[in-house]
Amino acid sequence: MQSKIMNNPKVVDLEKVVIKFAGDSGDGMQLTGTQFTDTSALLGNDLATFPDYPAEIRAPQGTVAGVSGFQIHIGSIDINTPGDIADVLVAMNPAALKANKNFIKKGGSIIINIDSFNQRDFEKAGYKQSPLEDNSFEGYNLIEAPITKLTRETLKDSKLDGKSIGRAKNMFALGIVYWMFNRPMQQTESFLKTKFKKSPDLVEANIKVMHAGYNFADTIEALSSSYTVLSAKLPKGTYRNVMGNQAMSWGFLAAAENAKKELFLGSYPITPASDILHELAKHKNLGVKTFQAEDEIAGVCSAIGASFCGSLAITTTSGPGLALKGEGIGLAIMTELPLVVVDVQRGGPSTGLPTKTEQSDLMQALYGRNGESPAVVLASSTPANCFDWAYQASKITLEHNTPVILLSDGYLGNGAEPWKIKSTNDMPKINPNVAREGDDYLPYARDKKILSRKIAIPGTKGLEHRLGGLEKEDITGNVSYDPENHEKMCKIRSEKINRLSNIIPEQKIYGNESGNLLVIGWGGTFGSLYSAVDTLLKDENSVGLCHFNYINPLPRNTKEILSKFNRIVVCELNAGQFANYLRMNFQGFVFEQYNKLQGFPFTSIELESHFKLLLSK
């Protein structure tokens, strides 16, 4: 083996490190990344992760299109994004190096499986010749490890077949990285024991290879030292690592339990929302009913049917699916039934960039239906708080009997971070607004304050009534073509949502409460905006961050916040939809925009430098 140290390795910042594992789709990089994540989490690091994989199940082996990556950001300090740029890259083949060449910090370490750096693989990656021979990676700490060879060597006495031996090489890479960051291997060992419990040979082989990698790193002295990232100073409590889609699923489970409702999901698979269906489908033991419908329309309609019959009913999808659900959502608005619609946004328009992230369904969520059809719109903003927003969406829909659209995105859904586990006992109560047997029931009579009607659930004696999509007569709920009644009902449907702003908390600001620059964001960009603003605040810039989770209605103090800053910039992963929405709602302000439409999150660096520019002008 050979280790070309092209330069003295710069000392990586031990407060936080970004590591990216990259290889072919078949190289097991997602598993490697997850293992490193779990081990780091157990050590008490704060962290955030983001997987990045191709749209094809298996794109051609060895090509750039086929590269699968997993990025993890760990720190002893507050971590809010998976990091802009990697301190350490593991590249299992030339394509992985090529795909990530702009994502490695100058002077960072690159661990390379040198066995895959041959002419055939260069060509597959679209390199004419070895990228290691020219000067492309001068200034980096290049660690060339013969990972394939040493894995085979390690397992030469194993009973495994060649294919399985080949597959173990990710464990070698993981071993190297464990050594680099001084991490124990027990967590992964016990994981392997559970995962392959039916095949002790596999367990043994994988553990052996991981240790071989670890020992290899220990021996080669490719790095001047190994690093430690101390545990973060997180609030006291029990933690676990959660992905956004998983947290979202669990939030619904918790809400259903606390509302004493059965949870019903009607859904059709679509990237990147399918994992919510997968996650909930696991938990039949908690009574959840998941219905994989024939399409998105059946997904939303079955949920409305279940809602009418008393379930906490949700439907989950991504952009193109939301387009199909518009008519159904309109019916839920007219019939004023509880319903949560989750849109895990991806790149659009049309099929667009299905595995990439974006925030471009906001307008569709607000207006993608015929007629005046206002719905509550919420957005989660970190992988972990997908839990809270699923819970909150459920609470609102059940207590106000009005549909809620909850926006997440591919970045949140697939991203992960540690979550301080809440007990269901500590969550806000949920009191579904339901009529009971014996009530004097008029389907469209309303609570004076919150303006919501009570629903009556089939099976309840004496409350038989008919709902439907034709305009309803106020109070009775009978069909009505009366002109004045229609106008009145349109106003009620909209006012019901506006009144929610009396109930939801005031919008908070992070940083300065007034001053020079107000940074506005919503949904999945929280981490990057927070990091960027945080850095600026450390330099005592006059800046505040106002990040929205309530979109419709907006918090009641929004206007007040806007009026306290000289300059406002709205940052979104779209062409300016929230900025436009603010313009509709608040006249007399100038909303500048900062937008990105590249299928990737903002980097903190690009935000910082843009904000600095704004602050300096």
Partner 1 sequence: MEKLTNKDFSSDQEVRWCPGCGDYAILRAMQKSLPLLNRKKEDFIFISGIGCSSRFPYYMDTYGFHSIHGRAPAFATGMKLANPNLSIWQITGDGDALAIGGNHFIHALRRNIDINILLFNNEIYGLTKGQFSPTSKKGIKTKSNPHGTTDEPFSPSDLSLGAKSSFFARVVDTNPKLMQKIFVEAEAHKGTSLIEIMQNCVIFNDKTFSSITGKDVKKDAQLTLEHGKPILYGATMNKGIILNKFKLETVIIGENGITIDDILVHDAYEQDSTLHAMLARMRPPEFPAALGVIRSVKRSTFDNDMNSQIDHEKKNAKFNNVNELLFSGDTWNV
Q: Which of residues 121-160 bind partner 1 (CB under 8 A)?
A: none
> What does the alpha-carbon distance between residue 483 and residue 489 come to, in Å, rounded to a whole number?
10
Q: Which of residues 193-232 bind ligand SF4 (CB under 6 A)?
A: none
Binding site residues, ligand TPP, CB under 6 A: 268-270, 296, 320-321, 324, 351
Q: Which of residues 24-43 bind partner 1 (CB under 8 A)?
A: 38, 41-42
Query: Which residues, 6 or more positions from 410, have their beta carbon under 8 angstroms from its beta carbon?
Result: 271, 272, 318, 344, 345, 346, 355, 356, 357, 358
Q: Which of 277, 368, 282 is nearest to 325 (CA)?
A: 368
Q: Which helix (H) or strand (E) holds 341?
A: strand 340-345
Q: Which of residues 289-328 bind a copy of itself (CB under 8 A)?
A: 318-320, 322-324, 326-327
Q: Is 269 in the site for ligand SF4 (CB under 6 A)?
A: no
> What does the alpha-carbon distance between residue 5 and residue 108 come to, in Å, rounded to a whole number?
12
Q: Is 572 in the site for partner 1 (CB under 8 A)?
A: no
Look-up: residue for tokens 């989490």?
Answer: 41
> Which one-letter DSSP state was computed for residue 524?
G
Q: How far is the CB of 420 from a copy of itself (least distance, A)?
A: 34
> What does the alpha-carbon distance between residue 246 and residue 272 come to, in Å, rounded to a whole number?
12
Query: Which residues, 6 or more positions from 273, have their beta carbon under 8 angstroms from its beta carbon?
Result: 245, 267, 316, 317, 318, 321, 342, 343, 344, 413
Alpha carbon of 423 to those of 254, 427, 428, 531: distances in Å? Answer: 9, 7, 11, 29
Pick the binder of partner 1 from 120, 282, 436, 508 (CB under 8 A): 282
Q: Which of residues 219-248 bind partner 1 (CB under 8 A)?
A: 231, 234-241
Q: Which of residues 354-383 bind a copy of itself (CB under 8 A)?
A: 354-356, 358, 360-361, 363-364, 366-373
Q: Which of residues 532-591 bind a copy of itself (CB under 8 A)?
A: 574-575, 580, 583-584, 587-591
Q: Which of residues 19-58 bind ligand SF4 (CB under 6 A)?
A: 57-58
Q: Is 187 in the site for partner 1 (CB under 8 A)?
A: yes
Pick the binder of partner 1 from 11, 14, 56, 139 (CB under 8 A): 56
Query: Which residues, 6 or more positions from 587, have their beta carbon under 8 angstroms from its beta carbon?
Result: none
Pick the binder of partner 1 from 3, 478, 498, 501 (CB under 8 A): 478
3-state secondary structure 385-434: CHHHHHHHHHHHHHHHCCCEEEEEEHHHHHCEEEEECCCHHHCCCCCCCE
Look-up: residue for tokens 């070698």?
Answer: 172
> What does the alpha-carbon distance between residue 127 and residue 136 come to, in Å, rounded to a whole number?
12
Q: How far is the CB of 55 from ligand SF4 (least distance, A)?
A: 11
Backbone angles phi, psi at 277, to 5 degrees: -60, -45
- Cβ nearer to a copy of itself, comparing 213 with 599: 599
Q: Which of residues 326-345 bind a copy of itself (CB under 8 A)?
A: 326-327, 330-331, 333-335, 345
Q: How far is the CB of 56 from ligand SF4 (least distance, A)?
A: 7
- Cβ nearer to a copy of itself, comparing 61 with 494: 494
Binding positions for ligand SF4, rule: CB under 6 A: 57-58
Binding positions for a copy of itself, rule: CB under 8 A: 54-55, 65, 318-320, 322-324, 326-327, 330-331, 333-335, 345, 347-356, 358, 360-361, 363-364, 366-373, 468-471, 481, 483-484, 486-487, 490-491, 493-494, 574-575, 580, 583-584, 587-591, 596-600
